[in-house]
Amino acid sequence: MVVLEEGRNDRLTQGLAELLGRLATVAVAGQKFCVVPEQPPAVLLYHAGDGCVVRAPRTVAVLGPDLDHCPTLELPAGTRVLLSTQNPHAADFAGRSGLPLLDCGLSLRDTLTLSSHTRLESVITLQRSVEDLWGRGVDPVDLPLTLDRELPSHLLLYFAGICLLAGWTDRLTDFKF
Strands (E), 26-140: 26-30, 34-35, 43-47, 60-63, 80-83, 101-105, 112-117, 121-126, 130-131, 137-138
- Do residues 115 and 125 touch, judged by C-beta distance below 8 A? yes
Q: For the segment 27-44, what is each residue's pLDDT rounded down to a tens digit? A: 999 878 888 998 889 999
Task: List pLDDT tens digits, range 107-118.
Answer: 889 999 999 988
pLDDT tens, 95-106? 899 999 999 999
What are the structural domains of the chain? 2-172 (3.40.1190)
CA 33 → CA 27, 29, 47, 75, 139, distances in Å? 11, 6, 9, 21, 37
4, containing H or E segment: strand 2-5
Q: What is the pLDDT of residues 133-176, one digit of tens each?
A: 999 999 999 999 999 888 999 999 999 999 999 999 988 888 88
- pLDDT exceeds 80 at position 7: no
% of the chain at pLDDT higher than 70: 98
Residue type, 2: V
